[in-house]
Structure 1
């Protein structure tokens, strides 16, 4: 097995790199600086030269608000890139594991979203990600579309790191309390993708009776919370770790009090039941992940 990972410099890409290296799984990392995922000539040569057996597409335009003013760039990365990769994988007859988002939903549901629920993005980012999903489904039979949400990690910019930084700068913080979702640790997403890739490879080799299940899957945290409750949990961990002597006073605010260019889903809880049933991949335990990061990320500030 040899995996090609795009978006290598992102949160998920770096977590994938860590885990693939630790597990001694042959892989090639591709960042935006290395090559454009729309450049099929470069990618085709890479796949052939490295004997790539599957591609994990972790590359995406993720600036949700900025996408409203940069729709063409978001479209190029989130639609054009997945389409190019899907066609490439189809030509080589290898699986494409493509990462998507909860933003493909409108957030009006009040029970966890399952894979067959009606999509309805409310902004440019969500629409381009949905169009990317459609392109993957249309052009590559062997596809896994993995929708996830509220991603955090020791890398890049994310809610957890932002809260820790602000906690050291301010005495009070207003955090949105009427948006509910499932925080998901990028390291757990990486583990899930690697496990699926391994199972698909075994299925391709007809080993151990493993069956390939292709299609759309949800993978997210095992507990739904608001951003406000997530911030509370982060600060509790930081205080236990001795990083924050005092915790800022948290004020729960409504979305209307914190207007943004792009509309956020009010409820985007994803059910991970299908992926657990088909691939024995359990949802991300984000509280455990926060505790685990406390000796690393939290101590670095």
Structure 2
């Protein structure tokens, strides 16, 4: 295999895989329509998040109803087509991986046993107090894996997975719902897990999410040429210029020596205040 270098990417280069459970590894056929009808007047809402707004007694009833549906699904769980092959590929290539699910730990364990899916040492569920799409659940997974966020890829079948990955600055692979409008938020959208496994076994350069608009408008030759440029930023307005040129595909920047002064930061309040008085080189690199 030829090395896949920036501006391109491929999941084979990621050293930590964070997998959703339902829809990626296990097929449980969950149907929460009775929950929507019973508790939310048939409105489609983020059930677990909205539960916090309910009175205590009703909230307890909601949790019990949700877990009952999840447990029924766990008892009839089957491996998603391609799931066992995906796990086999991860283990064969010594790739660290974890499972992150909005289900309870008990439901995941029951489904894993019924479907004969080997769970990894790291499994994070809602029992741990964090829910997708909160990026902290993915950052916790990467920390437990011993990997940086930039080394990880999230694989999921729903919007929560993709939004959470984006928020955590991780690569995102969508499976099963490649035709959804929000699939463009992912770095890679696959028809199913089988297609993902094939892509892992036959890697070729892929365009990451941040450069897909550049490719669509200007093509690969433009991106490859511009990414290799090194631009020296002026002393003034460098954040505006940096954001603009990075959006066009420029990959390297130089900045004058100095630190981020308070009067400069006031003009760019979207820059995290923790960078005040930090060396400009570090600020620009992180930005």
TM range (shorter): under 0.3
Which protein has greater RCO, CA pairs closer than 8 Å, 6+ apart? 1
**TM-score, normalised to structure 1's length?**
0.25
